[in-house]
Amino acid sequence: MSASPAARAEAPIEGILWMFATTLSFAGVNIIVHHLGPAIPATQSAFLRFAFGIVLVLPGFMQIPRGGLPAKIWGLFGLRGALQAVAVLLWFYAMARVPIADVTAIGYLNPIVVTLGGALLLGEGFSWRRGLAIGVAMLGALVILRPGLREIQSGHVAQLCAALFFGISYLEMKRLSRHAPAGLIVAMMTLTVAVCLLPFAIRDWVPMTAAQVGWLALNAAVATAGHYTMTRAFQAAPLTVTQPVVFLQLVWAALAGLLLFGEPVDPFVMMGGAMIIGAISYITWREARLKRSAVTPAPAQTKL
């Protein structure tokens, strides 16, 4: 019998360890893609990551209900896949062209987009404290990019756009989670992204060495492992416990950039990343606190 949510929330150390493993997994993904660089087109690299991933998520398709799903849900699967495909394509492009720590730090903006979207599109509310935290995160992005003081490369712009599309994709995933099992959502995302990227990959296809194919297969396995460990972290402990651990991914990225690729550690990137993850952690803590202090609603508030 599975543990209740309350029981799972009582395992903070387990949650921290799972999230620690998640940061290592996603750092591994970043290193592999950065290592391959622009020699393989972003469309081809992104497609192969999800094509290999289909094999790993096949059990998820077994969760399709016997009676099927409404047509609207299949449409949401397609929309989510298209959004994720654009985001992934932009991310692969950025990771191959700018320092690994820059891409990682800017990527922390994804939850900020989700927070804004949740308030504007899903009616989740928007307090002045949340607005202040979002302002701090945006300031952190400016600290990273330092427009006018450093060259803004195409990879930086691509990663900013990727953060936007990833955020919108996650909002669609949130809608889907109300109607479909998690395993099926991940499986359908993997399949639809691969289908969306296929024609572009064919257009840009270049011959690959056996080593490059092996790296991309490993990339798919490591990314899938990261999603698994992240899910286990969320099951074991509340986000207020696991969220700060995410900052370690930027530390790993900075160390990898320095030791493996000769990229100097940029203190402004580290500072900006810390500002963004700090803002995210505050939003997460604040929302958890509000949920704990919630009281039973008045009868008038329960009307449909």
pLDDT tens for each residue of 9-46: 457 888 889 989 999 998 999 999 999 988 899 899 99
Number of alpha carbons in the 13 Å side-chain half-sphere of residue 284: 20
Q: Which residues contact 128 (CB under 8 A, 6 or more apart)?
A: none
What pLDDT is stored for residue 255 in this prediction? 93
Q: Tell me which residues of the chain have a pLDDT lower than 50.
A: 1-9, 294-304
What is the per-residue pLDDT for 162?
A: 93
Query: Which residue type sits at 133?
Result: A
- In-domain check, residue 116: yes
Q: What is the pLDDT of residue 4?
A: 43
Contact 94, 155 (CB under 8 A): yes
| Count of residues in the chain | 304
pLDDT at 235: 72
Domain that holds residue 66: 5-293
- How many domains in the chain? 1
Specify the pLDDT at position 96: 86
Q: pTM of the prediction?
A: 0.78
Q: Is residue 298 part of a domain?
A: no
Quick check: is 180 in a domain?
yes
In a domain, 303, yes or no: no
pLDDT per residue as tens digits for the range 155-167: 999 999 999 998 8
Residue-level pLDDT at 280? 82
How far apart, in whole angstroms, are the C-alpha atoms of residue 144 and residue 201? 31
pLDDT value at position 180? 83
